[in-house]
Amino acid sequence: MTETGLPLAGLRVLDISSFIAAPAAAVVLGDWGADVIKIEGPDGDANRTIMRDSANYPKAEVDYPWQMDSRNKRSLVLDLKQPAARAALDRLLAVSDIVICNFPPPVRDKLKLTYEDMKKVNPRLIYASLTGYGETGPDRDRPGFDVTAYFARSGLLDAQRYEGGPPGVPVPAQGDRATAMTLVSSILLALVHRMKTGEGSWVGTSLLGNGLWSCGVIAQAALVGAFLPPRPPLDRPRSALGSIYRTADDRWIQLTIVREDKLWAPLCRALGKLELIDDPRFAEIDERRRQSAALAAIFRELFATKPYDHWREALAAQEITFGVISRPQDIPDDVQAVHAGAVIETAIPALPRTIANPIRTSFAEQRIAHTAPKLGQHTDEVLGEVGLTADEIKGLRSSGAVR
């Protein structure tokens, strides 16, 4: 199941995790060549049915979230509450490099799945832990979801809103996927450590920690007593050159002009309003800031007269920094998304393209995605590889410890 030539080829990963952040980290390791074994309870990871269960997911015939978060994994079903299954897990741990675990701490204690438990079986093991809120403290046992731990608790949603409006809304699994890259980095650091010392280790991260890292600028400001002022609504932005405007064809153009000393005149040219360049009301940054509502009104009217394609060309010709608010449905047809390596082809007929992990290298390409495993699809194969005999597997099956 591993491929030579990829930087993580030859590493065996046990993914004893559910839902999205931790399984997505295992996907990234698998993309780069690791052999990822997903260990599931008899009911399977609840992420297998999230598309149907969550009101906020796009619905489709194909189970795309499960495919994306499980590509290139093998599935082994172990009922870890049963001692025989727990013993089989030890056999796997003994020959594995990395285990990824996101059970809340009390469950880890109950099932003997703490780092201390596993270290005894394999001192070279890297144990990667994901929690909602950290490994200790009053909330360590609370289940963490990205919307509560990464977004709400961190202050992100409170800050992501217009003055007087409701809190912001995240997109599904947004914080989970960002957190996955942190978990990958922590695992790779542990591999560095193991190469130097021969020793395994515990590494980990929390959704709350990642939410605060991503809003680190305003969190650092809060630490010195400075707070983000509420975002004024679009008709009175703080800076008209850093606001968004609706085009004639109902798209949004986002001006992101940081160096406005250099770009004020080019912007006026792009907008076809040369007279603005020397308009005394807007001559200097300070005046433009003071007059931002008036300036935004002028811009709003101008942008509404022509479609997005016109503005895209006009702004690019003047080297103005801007962005468009793409819709998710624009991504599949965006050539640049393929160039950025964000959209890649798969070997899955029902799902010919998927989203790549964002790491690129000159020396290796991510493995192509194959169909995600059925529940317990590789149980016999995996247990056989770690030395369980056919009789032992049969015994485990009849006891219900594996499936």
Partner 1 sequence: MTETAERDEANDEPLPLAGLKVLDISSFIAAPAAAVTLADFGADVIKIEPFDGDPHRNSYRNPGYPQSDRNFPWQLDGRHKRSIALDLKNDSARTILDRLLARADILIVNFPPPARERLRLRWEDVEPINPRLVYCSLTGYGETGPDRDRPGFDVSAYFGRSGILDAARYEDGPPGLSLPAQGDRATAMTLVAAILLGLRRRDQTGKGGWVGTSLYANGVWANGTSAAGALIGAQLPARHPPDRPRNALTNLYRTQDDRWLQLLVVRDDRLWEKFCAAIDRSDLAADPRFADRPQRRAHALDLAAELRSVFAARTYAEWECALEGTGIPFGVIGRLTDVIEDEQARHAGIFVDTTNPEIPRTVNNPIRLGFATPRPAGPPPAVGQHSEEILREAAFDEAEIEALKKSGALG
Give min distance, CB of 242 to partner 1, in A.
6
Token pair in block for residue 64: 């795309």
Site for partner 1 in 267-326 (CB under 8 A): 289, 316, 321-326
Give min distance, CB of 87 to partner 1, in A.
25
> Please, which residue, 138 or 280, has the CB nearer to partner 1?
138
C-alpha 315 chain-centroid distance: 31
The rounded distance, in Å, linking the Cα atoms of 195 and 126 is 12
Q: What are phi and psi of 67, to 5 degrees?
A: -60, -45
Pairing, β 126-131 against β 35-40: unpaired
Is residue 387 part of the contact set for partner 1 (CB under 8 A)? no
Is residue 238 part of the contact set for partner 1 (CB under 8 A)? yes
Q: How many CA atoms lie within 13 A of 401 on its CB side?
A: 18
Site for partner 1 in 107-166 (CB under 8 A): 115, 127, 131, 133-140, 148, 152-162, 165-166
Q: Pick one of 36, 39, 101, 244: the residue that binds partner 1 (CB under 8 A).
A: 244
The rounded distance, in Å, linking the Cα atoms of 168 and 150 is 13
3-state secondary structure (DSSP) of residue 289: helix
Is residue 213 part of the contact set for partner 1 (CB under 8 A)? yes
Among 238, 386, 260, 231, which residue's Cα sits nearest to residue 322? 260
DSSP label at residue 60: -
* Helices of type H across 95-237: 105-110, 115-121, 156-159, 174-197, 207-214, 216-223
> Please, which residue, 244 or 401, has the CB nearer to partner 1?
244
Amino acid letter, residue 274? L
383: enclosing H helix or E strand:
helix 379-385
Pairing, β 73-77 against β 35-40: parallel
> Please, which residue, 17 or 379, has the CB nearer to partner 1?
17
Q: Pick one of 14, 16, 89, 181: the residue that binds partner 1 (CB under 8 A).
A: 181
> Please, which residue, 147 or 382, has the CB nearer to partner 1?
147
- Most distant CA pair in the chain: distance in Å? 88
Give min distance, CB of 395 to partner 1, in A.
36
Site for partner 1 in 77-106 (CB under 8 A): none
Stretch that binds partner 1, among 76-84, 170-178, 267-275, 293-301 (CB under 8 A): 170-178
Is residue 169 part of the contact set for partner 1 (CB under 8 A)? yes
| Sign, CA torsion 296/302/307/309 | negative
Token pair in block for residue 341: 């390596």
> Please, which residue, 301 or 334, has the CB nearer to partner 1?
334
Stretch that binds partner 1, among 35-43, 297-305, 357-365, 378-386 (CB under 8 A): 357-365
Question: Cα angle vertex 133, ends 131, 138, to 5°?
Answer: 120
Site for partner 1 in 36-55 (CB under 8 A): 55
Give min distance, CB of 100 to partner 1, in A.
14
69: enclosing H helix or E strand:
helix 64-70
Q: Pick one of 46, 87, 221, 274: the residue that binds partner 1 (CB under 8 A).
A: 221
> Please, which residue, 84 or 355, has the CB nearer to partner 1?
355
Give min distance, CB of 158 to partner 1, in A.
5
User: How many residues bind to partner 1 according to rule CB under 8 A?
Assistant: 145
The rounded distance, in Å, linking the Cα atoms of 310 and 96 is 56
Stretch that binds partner 1, among 73-81, 91-99, 265-273, 347-355 (CB under 8 A): 347-355
3-state secondary structure (DSSP) of residue 56: coil
> Please, which residue, 79 or 311, has the CB nearer to partner 1?
311
